[in-house]
Chain A
Amino acid sequence: MSDQVRARRLPVADQLERDGEWLLLVEDRAVRVTGLAPVILAFADDWRTLDELVAELERVFGEAPGDDAAGLVCQALDELAAQGLLELDVP
C-alpha cells in the first residue's frame, strides 16, 4: 500500500461501544472491532493520511513496537476496508 494512502470511515447502521471494543452494523451484519481499529475509525471521520493516522495511534497507544508503524496501520486499514468499514484513496 502506498504511503500516500488516505482513509475515511464509511457510515454504518448503528454501533455499540463497550470496554474499548466496538460493534458495528453494516447492512444486516454485525462486526466486532478491537485493538487499533476503534481508534482508527473514531479518528477517520474525514479523510486522513497515513501519517495522520500513525500519529493519532501513537498519541493514544504510545510508540509502536518495532520500526514499521506505518505497515501495521496499513494492515489494519486493509482489514477495515475489507469489512466495509473504511474507504481507501490510494493514489
Chain B
Amino acid sequence: MPAVLPLTVLGVPVDLKFAGPRSAEAYDAFAPRWALCHRDNGATAERAVTVTLGGPDGGTNGGTNGGSNEDGTIGSDDLPLLLQLATQRVTYQAIHANIGSLLMFHAAAVCHPETGAALVAIAPGGTGKTTVCRTLGRGRGYLSDETVGVRGDNTIVPYPKPLSVRRTDWDAKDETDPRSIGLAAATVTPYVAAILLLARDDEHTGPARLEPLDLFDAIIGMTPETSSLSRLPRPLHRLEELVGGLPVVARAHYKEAASLEVFLGELIGDDR
C-alpha cells in the first residue's frame, strides 16, 4: 500500500499522505475519488496534506497550513468527514499556491470533449455547482465542481476533484468518485467559451432563462465568487479581457440543472 497519493491540483503538485493504524483503509477510500487528479511524476511535492484515519492522532489540526514545505495534518475517526476535510485542505493549498497568477472562481466547469470549449458556471457554495456537473457533465470533459482556474490566455487549469455531493442532512457532503457517475477528465486543453452566473430558484417556473449581462454587471456578479482577485495585476482589466471576448455571459435563472442542457449547444457546441 503506497503511503502517498501524488496529485496535481489546479496545476500544483500536492501529496496526500496517509498515517496511522488505518492508513491502508484511508488510501483505498481516497485513491479512486482522486483518480482524475493523479500525478504520474513521482517526485515529492512541496505541498502535502497528511490524513490520519482513527488512531491516537484522530483530532483535526494544522488548520493554518498552506505554506510550502509544511504538512497540513487532518485526522478523524469519521471517514466521510475526513474525505470532506481533505478536499477542503487540498483545495486551499492549491488556491494559495496560485494567488497572483491564476484568475480563480468558485465555479463548476465542463467542456466539449473535442474542442475544449468550456462552460464556466459561477455560483456560491451550496447553490448548484456540483449538480451542474452531475447533470451536464456526462459525455463532456469534467473540469471542476468547486474551483476553476483561468490562465492569462483564458485556458482553464482542470481540477477534476471528487464531487462534493451534498447530503440531505445540512453541512455534510459525500466526496464522490467522478467516474462513478460517468464523468471523465478533459483530454484536450479547455478554454473559457461561456460564463453563466447560476441563479437557481426553487420557485422558478417554466423553462430556464438566460439574462444577458453587460460588462459591468457581469464583473459585479463575478467578483464575489473570485479568490484573491485583488492580488492579480490590474484585476478588473483582466476580467474585462475575459468577459469582453465571450459571446455569452449571462445570469441563468432555472430550477432544475437539466433545463440548462438546451443552451449547451449554443454555449460550447453540440457533442452528445
Contact assessment for B219 and A23 in the assembled complex, using a CB-CB cutoff below 8 Å = yes
Please name the residue on chain B nearest to A25 by beta carbon: B236
Contact assessment for B223 and A25 in the assembled complex, using a CB-CB cutoff below 8 Å = yes
Query: In the complex, which residues 208-240 of chain B have their Cβ closer than 8 Å to any Cβ of chain A?
Result: 215-216, 219-220, 223-224, 226, 228-230, 234-237, 240
Judge if A29 is at the interface, Cβ distance under 8 Å: yes
Contact assessment for B229 and A18 in the assembled complex, using a CB-CB cutoff below 8 Å = no
**A13-B230, A16-B240 known; A32+B235 contact, CB < 8 A:** no
Contact assessment for B237 and A29 in the assembled complex, using a CB-CB cutoff below 8 Å = no
Q: From DSSP, what is the main secondary structure of chain B's interface residues?
A: helix
Please name the residue on chain B nearest to A34 by beta carbon: B216
Of A15, A27, A32, the residue contacting B220 (CB under 8 A) is A32
Contacts of B224 in A (CB 8 A): 28-29
Nearest-CB distance from B37 to chain A (Å)?
27
Query: In the docked arrangement, what's the CA distance between A55 and B230, Å?
Result: 34
Query: In the docked arrangement, what's the CA distance between A32 and B223, Å?
Result: 12
Contact assessment for B230 and A27 in the assembled complex, using a CB-CB cutoff below 8 Å = yes
Please name the residue on chain A nearest to B214 by beta carbon: A18
Contacts of A16 in B (CB 8 A): 215-216, 219, 236-237, 240
Judge if A1 is at the interface, Cβ distance under 8 Å: no
Contact assessment for B235 and A13 in the assembled complex, using a CB-CB cutoff below 8 Å = yes
Contact assessment for A28 and B226 in the assembled complex, using a CB-CB cutoff below 8 Å = yes
Contacts of A13 in B (CB 8 A): 229-230, 235-236
Of A15, A21, A27, the residue contacting B236 (CB under 8 A) is A15
Q: From DSSP, what is the main secondary structure of chain A's interface residues?
A: strand
Nearest-CB distance from A81 to chain B (Å)?
20
Nearest-CB distance from B197 to chain A (Å)?
13
Query: In the docked arrangement, what's the CA distance between A28 and B224, Å?
Result: 7
Nearest-CB distance from A5 to chain B (Å)?
29
Contact assessment for B230 and A30 in the assembled complex, using a CB-CB cutoff below 8 Å = no
Query: In the complex, which residues 44-61 of chain B have their Cβ closer than 8 Å to any Cβ of chain A?
Result: none
Contacts of A18 in B (CB 8 A): 215-216
Nearest-CB distance from B135 to chain A (Å)?
30
Nearest-CB distance from B228 to chain A (Å)?
7
Contacts of A25 in B (CB 8 A): 223, 229-230, 235-236
Query: In the docked arrangement, what's the CA distance between A41 and B235, Å?
Result: 20
Contacts of A29 in B (CB 8 A): 223-224
Contact assessment for B230 and A23 in the assembled complex, using a CB-CB cutoff below 8 Å = no
Judge if A14 is at the interface, Cβ distance under 8 Å: yes
Nearest-CB distance from A28 to chain B (Å)?
5
Please name the residue on chain A nearest to B235 by beta carbon: A14
Query: In the complex, which residues 7-23 of chain A have their Cβ closer than 8 Å to any Cβ of chain B?
Result: 13-16, 18, 21, 23
Contacts of B237 in A (CB 8 A): 14, 16
Nearest-CB distance from B265 to chain A (Å)?
31
Q: When A and B form their complex, which 8 residue pairs have the shortest distance between CB atoms, in order from nearest?
A: A14-B236, A13-B230, A30-B223, A30-B220, A28-B229, A16-B236, A23-B216, A14-B235
Q: List 20 A-B contacts (CB under 8 A).
A: A13-B230, A13-B236, A14-B234, A14-B235, A16-B219, A16-B240, A18-B215, A18-B216, A23-B219, A23-B236, A25-B229, A25-B230, A27-B230, A28-B223, A28-B224, A28-B230, A30-B220, A30-B223, A32-B216, A32-B220
